[in-house]
Amino acid sequence: MDAVGRSVWQGRVGGDPWVLQVGAWARGAYVLRMEQAGRVEVHKFVLAE
């Protein structure tokens, strides 16, 4: 989700490691929430030039 709480991507990923393509996203702050087998991880990141 972006800095104002809008969902910008939702889906499933497979394989290890996985890559999320963010090149077309606007620059700014984001929160990545991942869930697997009942375990949730949240990561904050900033897209910058």
Q: Residues 1-49: pLDDT tens digits?
A: 888 888 888 888 777 788 888 889 999 999 998 888 889 999 999 999 7
User: Domain segments of the chain: what residues?
Assistant: 1-49
pLDDT at 19: 83
Tokens of 30: 């984001």
Question: DSSP letter at 26?
Answer: P
Question: 47: part of which helix (H) or strand (E)?
Answer: strand 39-47
Largest CA-CA distance found in the chain, in angstroms, rounded: 35
What is the predicted pLDDT for the residue at 35?
87
- Please check whether residue 2 is in contact with residue 29, taking contact to mean a CB–CB distance below 8 angstroms: yes
Cβ–Cβ < 8 Å for 9, 20 = yes
What's the confidence (pLDDT) of residue 2?
A: 87
